[in-house]
Amino acid sequence: MAAGETDITLYNGMKDLAVFNNYGIRNFWVLSDGGHEWVNWRRYLYQTAQVMFPDCESK
């Protein structure tokens, strides 16, 4: 899960993560500058793809 420090969804995301942690659901959290904006979405998509597809090479 990821959010910007001024993201409108930051606190709801933190609540969700608390529930995940309570049930032992493996997760990770990324906090970045900015808010709910395209720059962050693009960064998070790239980071998530790296975790989901670690064996794929970038060309």
Average pLDDT of the chain, as a whole number? 91
Tokens representing 18 are: 């608390």
* Encoded amino acid at 9, one letter: T
| b/e burial code for range 18-40 (CB count within 10 A of at least 16 → b) | eeeeeeeeeeeeeeeeeeeeeeb
Cα distances (Å, whole numbers) of residue 19 to 10, 23, 42: 15, 6, 26
Does residue 59 surpass a pLDDT of 80?
Answer: no
Determine the pLDDT at residue 58.
Answer: 62
Determine the pLDDT at residue 35.
Answer: 92
Per-residue model confidence as pLDDT tens digits over 22-44:
999 999 889 999 999 999 999 99
Determine the pLDDT at residue 13.
Answer: 94
